[in-house]
Structure 1
Amino acid sequence: MPHSDSPTRITVISASMGAGHDGAATELTRHLTAAGFLVDRHDFLDLLPARIGKLLSGAYLRLLTWAPAGYQRIYAATEHERRPNPAVRALLRGAERRTLATVTPDTRAVVSTYPGASQVLGALRLRGRLAIPALTYLTDFSVHSLWVAPGIDAHLAAHAIPAAQAHEQGAAGVTVTGPMTDPRFTPADEDERRAARTRFGLPPDTPLALLVAGSWGVGPVREAAAEILGTGVALPVVVCGRNHALAERLRADGIAHVHGWVDDMPGLMHACDVLVQNAGGLTSLEALAGGLPVVSYRCIPGHGQTNAAALDEAGLAPWIREPDRLAPTLTELLHGPRGRAQREAGLALFTAAPGPVPAVTTMARGPLSATAIPSQRRPVAARPAVAFDVSGLPTRVPADGLAGVPSDAPRSVPVEALRLPVAARFAARSRQARRRTVLMVAAVAATLSLGIGAPLAYAYGESPGHHFGALTHYLEDDDR
């Protein structure tokens, strides 16, 4: 237990799967640090066994690019499952040791912004190996079943709609905290708007539609850009993220304003009049914070479409499902009362609740019990939810404590135990090697089930040659 005058330490675990999870973790880290906490930040992909994280990230990217219909099938099939399939559980189990190692003895809470990390933390809580509160900050506006992990103490949502979805799936401690974005995302006045357009080389008076497709630049972006240009209502300004090939193709298509990775996204949003997005992630929230009306169009499968539906239901962004609705919807958002109403609704989202930091800090500063958790695997009692009023003050604080010391805390070992015969040491190394082999096989199987096998079967049919060629191409570390 740290000294009472020592800063409280909190661990934040994200994942570099695109930029949304990391963006949320960055803001959590910044706000918690400003509040006086020490924050340890980790990438869950680095905690997976056998360096499988990069493979998993690449599989996900190629899945969205090569076989989006396959990804849609996987997403729909698993959207409401109560627990991950056995291969995924095996992969996540392999990350437990490294995840637990990120939590130092003076850490008082751990927050996940990625569903895989939440599953691992919840499992550690249930088995009594993690003795501090574990929270999930839901970065999506819709909630896939993987986001809801048994054992997690609190699930923090940006809006009532994802909160209700999480509750329906059995999430514990569901609390609507509101979203959180970089404070640079604010509405621009006319002078700021003109200065931003000059800085980015954009026409001074033409209506501009900012078209985004995440940090990876995935989805039917070229089609969307051409159709926005074809409406004559607005000029497309496209951000391709790190997809350099997409940027080159758009320029060849005649799209005049194309950007790769943009460091000054607040400035680019100040220059534009409406945001057109296809994934419903962090960029949508940033636009709402900046006073831009948002529209969902040509959404990527899976979470792109479920996020679009949730944003539409919340009255924050219409989901255009048919191309013939693009021109009238853009016109309404740019020049009609619908645009003004959505700007007001988006800005209200950030004033109605204080964001997730008060909920995290309340649990981190709560009492811890000195009682050790029994070594047998039995569930740890979940803490009740922490509710907040619009001022950000807690209206209900848990009175119960949490168990204290992990059952696997280091113990002293007699020197005699280290003097093993050569044969025993060899046998021990052999057992460890077998476990590593089994773990690697399970990890690869899980990766295939998550991102390669089913989509490739769908995309390439039943030809073994096609399967092998596609897998070989996937394993090449290219930048496409």
Structure 2
Amino acid sequence: MSKKRILLLSVSAGAGHRRAAEAIRVSALQNNEDLDVCHLDVMNFVTAGFRKIYTDFYIKLVNKAPTLWGYLYHATNEAQSDSTMERLRRSVERLNSRPLLRAIADFAPDAIICTHFLPAEILSRLILKERLYCPVWVQVTDFDLHRMWIHERMSGYFAANDEIAQRMRLSGIAEHQIHVTGIPVMPAFTNHPLREECATDIGLDPTKPTVLLMGGGAGLGGLDKVAGRLLALKVDFQLIVLAGNNAPALKALQTMAPNFSGRLAALGFTDKVERLMACSDLVITKPGGLTTSECLAMGLPMIVNSPIPGQEERNADYLLEQGVALKAYDDLSLSYRLEFLLSHPEKLKAMRLAASALGKPYAARDVIELVLENA
């Protein structure tokens, strides 16, 4: 018997869409030996000009002009699908998608899962024109539902929570097509490594309160400055700072680390974030859908900092409503909220319990199982 072929399509406009697709791919291969799973980034199949507009422009916009991005997010959500601008946008997408269509034909999938709305929109038209016959599924990757995620002729939708499922129903998606699975995270976030082992590996005391700072410190100044302000607070805790690929920030953090008596661990890029979360009591992060879902899967409360208008703002609102996060909008509010939580362990414990209850660590597994049942 030939293997079932599952194709995952993401878009590298931010890392979340790719991480969701990778989480599904890894989970599928771990649990099903009779699968052939392929993950393609749609941006690898478009012209350089289209890629620059779609990814580079998006990243610059959210970092340099978040208010403008927020306006565009809400404007496109309200736009009529038959407007001149929308028809023009779809025409440009069609012209830039022909190499992708060839790649899909070459792989000949039994089912396709889209973790971004762009491939879902392209494939919806192919199904209408009877040029694609396999089922296409859509995984929404935020605690919000933008209009551009909604397309006809999809086999099913995976929602982050019940509210998003309700929004899907009100957008015209049939009840039987909607599945509340959560946002997929890597299987590593279900394992919960030992705190003692993970803390010792990076030179920290596993018995002390520990805070993980990630997300670049956007809106709050450089990471070294943020770390210095937090470690000057009148509460005793350890700080892990994840600088990622920001080499200057990492160097600055490592230079200042000896001044804080082993209380600061400065790290660059790692694919073992779950180990840093395992030895943390609280995470300071931007409220992206994937990062916050990883925190929830690990049962970690958050302080979400400077959410950009649009999907991050909606994600932050959801987390605050559920009692798993506080929001910081500048350096003073971040310092105050951190000191408050570390000085009130009962509040932090309540947030941790709420995060554990809210997490969906097996979302990726549930997604692939539903797809296979219908393939």
Q: TM-score, normalised by structure 2?
A: 0.82
Per-residue CA deviation, residues 99-153 of structure 1 (Å, 9 max, x unaligned), is 3323347422111011212221222223332212111111112222222223323
The root-mean-square deviation of aligned C-alpha atoms, in Å, is: 3.1
- Corresponding residue number in structure 1 for 2:180: 176
Gaps spanning 5+ residues in structure 1: where? 365-480
SS at the partner of 1:283? Answer: helix
Per-residue CA deviation, residues 26-84 of structure 1 (Å, 9 max, x unaligned), is 12112223323211221111122356325532222222332222222222322343537
- Corresponding residue number in structure 2 for 1:20: 16
Q: Radius of gyration: which is bigger?
A: 1
- Corresponding residue number in structure 1 for 2:38: 40
In structure 1, C-alpha distance between the alignment counterparts of 2:45 and 2:141, rounded to whole Å: 20
SS at the partner of 1:300? Answer: coil
Q: Which moved more, 1:223-232 or 1:204-213?
A: 223-232
- Corresponding residue number in structure 1 for 2:3: 7
Q: How does 1:362-373 map to 2 (within 5 A)?
A: 362-364=373-375
How far residue 204 of structure 1 moved from its aligned partner, in angstroms, is 4.7
Q: How does 1:237-252 map to 2 (within 5 A)?
A: 237-248=240-251
- Corresponding residue number in structure 2 for 1:455: none
- Corresponding residue number in structure 1 for 2:345: 336
SS at the partner of 1:103? Answer: helix
SS at the partner of 1:119? Answer: helix
Q: How does 1:445-464 map to 2 (within 5 A)?
A: none
SS at the partner of 2:366? Answer: coil
- Corresponding residue number in structure 2 for 1:70: 68
Whether the 8 Å CA contact 1:296–1:320 is kept in 2: the answer is yes
How far residue 325 of structure 1 moved from its aligned partner, in angstroms, is 7.1
Q: TM-score, normalised by structure 1?
A: 0.65
How far residue 156 of structure 1 moved from its aligned partner, in angstroms, is 0.4
Gaps spanning 5+ residues in structure 2: where? none
- Corresponding residue number in structure 1 for 2:356: 347
In the alignment, is residue 91 of structure 1 matched against residue 92 of structure 2? yes
In the alignment, is residue 100 of structure 1 matched against residue 98 of structure 2? no
> In the alignment, residue 336 of structure 1 is paired with which amino acid?
P
> In the alignment, residue 72 of structure 1 is paired with which amino acid?
G
SS at the partner of 1:18? Answer: coil
In structure 1, C-alpha distance between the alignment counterparts of 2:89 and 2:228, rounded to whole Å: 39
Percent identity of paired positions between Structure 1 and Structure 2: 28
Per-residue CA deviation, residues 358-403 of structure 1 (Å, 9 max, x unaligned), is 2211221xxxxxxxxxxxxxxxxxxxxxxxxxxxxxxxxxxxxxxx
Q: Which of the numbers 124, 127, 142 marks the counterpart of 2:126?
A: 124
In the alignment, is residue 161 of structure 1 matched against residue 163 of structure 2? yes
SS at the partner of 2:189? Answer: coil
In structure 1, C-alpha distance between the alignment counterparts of 2:40 and 2:362, rounded to whole Å: 30
In structure 1, C-alpha distance between the alignment counterparts of 2:334 and 2:271, rounded to whole Å: 32
Whether the 8 Å CA contact 1:288–1:294 is kept in 2: the answer is no
- Corresponding residue number in structure 1 for 2:266: 258
In structure 1, C-alpha distance between the alignment counterparts of 2:2 and 2:52, rounded to whole Å: 37
How far residue 221 of structure 1 moved from its aligned partner, in angstroms, is 5.3
Change in CA separation of 1:73 and 1:246 when aligned onto 2, cut-off 3 Å: farther
In structure 2, C-alpha distance between the alignment counterparts of 1:45 and 1:206, rounded to whole Å: 44
In the alignment, is residue 271 of structure 1 matched against residue 273 of structure 2? no
Whether the 8 Å CA contact 1:187–1:291 is kept in 2: the answer is no
Change in CA separation of 1:126 and 1:338 when aligned onto 2, cut-off 3 Å: farther
Change in CA separation of 1:6 and 1:57 when aligned onto 2, cut-off 3 Å: same
In structure 1, C-alpha distance between the alignment counterparts of 2:368 and 2:149, rounded to whole Å: 19
How far residue 321 of structure 1 moved from its aligned partner, in angstroms, is 4.9
Whether the 8 Å CA contact 1:109–1:133 is kept in 2: the answer is yes
- Corresponding residue number in structure 2 for 1:112: 114
In structure 2, C-alpha distance between the alignment counterparts of 1:312 and 1:281, rounded to whole Å: 14
- Corresponding residue number in structure 1 for 2:27: 31
Q: Which of the numbers 143, 146, 153 marks the counterpart of 1:144?
A: 146
Aligned residues: 356
Whether the 8 Å CA contact 1:109–1:134 is kept in 2: the answer is yes
How far residue 258 of structure 1 moved from its aligned partner, in angstroms, is 2.9
Change in CA separation of 1:317 and 1:103 when aligned onto 2, cut-off 3 Å: same
In structure 1, C-alpha distance between the alignment counterparts of 2:311 and 2:25, rounded to whole Å: 25
Whether the 8 Å CA contact 2:189–2:361 is kept in 1: the answer is no
Q: How does 1:367-406 map to 2 (within 5 A)?
A: none
Per-residue CA deviation, residues 157-215 of structure 1 (Å, 9 max, x unaligned), is 122133233334444522212343222224757xx32322221123554422212217x
Q: Which of the numbers 76, 79, 91 marks the counterpart of 2:77?
A: 79
In structure 2, C-alpha distance between the alignment counterparts of 1:253 and 1:71, rounded to whole Å: 35
Q: Which moved more, 1:313-322 or 1:74-83?
A: 313-322
Change in CA separation of 1:88 and 1:252 when aligned onto 2, cut-off 3 Å: farther
